[in-house]
Chains A and B, each alone.
Chain A
């Protein structure tokens, strides 16, 4: 468990940044926010590529940056890794030497470093391509090399800046699978709500170079502090098994899918795609279920409703609809969704290891 304490400000050009948060028990933190809200700067600050103007940065009790005392630990002495979106693989080194790089940095001989890297290469299924140069690799392979290399350093904290932004679906799945199985603490910048829902337990939400919400995944998704956040988390994620056009949730509810699938899948859909009814809906709605209203969050023109039934999900409806249906806490109502609104993610087969 990595403890991060950051309370300070910095300035880059004309932009000022102000961060303040403390993590104790969180293992997987996601940093979310609109473009240009200061996410990458936060990571660079923690990595030591930017310096605080005032305040304090402490990780696991070690002061990394404190302008008043002049304490500053340079990037290469920090027990963490920052991995850039494109992986920043060294183009002049082979896959093997890229992965062995952190060992070489510890002044290990080339042979020793390569020997030590062998295990990691094996674990990341990179042995076959270990002698290749990066310009001969696919995007997914580069992502794996990058992750493998970050981990050879054995960091206490692994920071990832949009690790899957440029990857194809299959590679995204692979990266997610690896990250899920990691024991290292994660700090992850992501633009993908599903990724955040799957990988994180804590959210740092940034807007305007400031932290506007900080808390557990649950607390932030159930009560997003800003419109941007509620829109960002406007997604429900349900896992289950698929066979053909049918999808079965963990509790046995059956959904109809837009296409044929099989095996473990995850189904996501925006909360605004859910329709609510007082009585069982008829007609074209084939995906319908009964649920209880457990929370209500009125915002301006929209109401966010938490539904607990065969699975938990959120529904967002307009205020007039809300008034018309006369929904109240504890009510039991019917929910429905069109099959075409469902977005199906094929889950990887259970890991071999």
Chain B
């Protein structure tokens, strides 16, 4: 009798544990991450501060507009050195518009975003579902899921990503980004979860640490963000660059 109940308990325990993982799949977690970090469309105001190895730091302010999976636009507003610069992403192509030259030049995904530790695709191309295969692996921290994301194609700027997601609210906690060699290139911490609207909550702050040069890091702070918008299609035309 005792033995039977023990076995039953064991079995139940096993099932529940299984359920704790089985109730959500890696694909679902990725989808949630994409929804939180890169909603289908949004309009936002952000600051990116990059701390350099020489001890200096610089803060760039920008407005961003996203439409669908593959369209993104950024207007830099300060400091004056970059004010008037714009970025437009359409699909796999991105351009940086320089007001002094009145011309747009191509940006590569791997290039760093305004000389900081985010690269362009970190900011402009948040769509892990499309770019990565995810699987849930054992997390060191029982309150979080740990995802291992393996790149699906050669175009992603990272080969492998480890992503920790809170079990309680599905908010991302931290990330680690690796090169093909297996070397850790960057690590991120997501913090300051903030409810921007009733339907939208996300970490307001992303700290991106440069693992190659540890004295370098960059912080992205989302000051305002609205997701219930309908972006005007003409904002995502190359001819609109420089028109504000």
A and B pair up = no
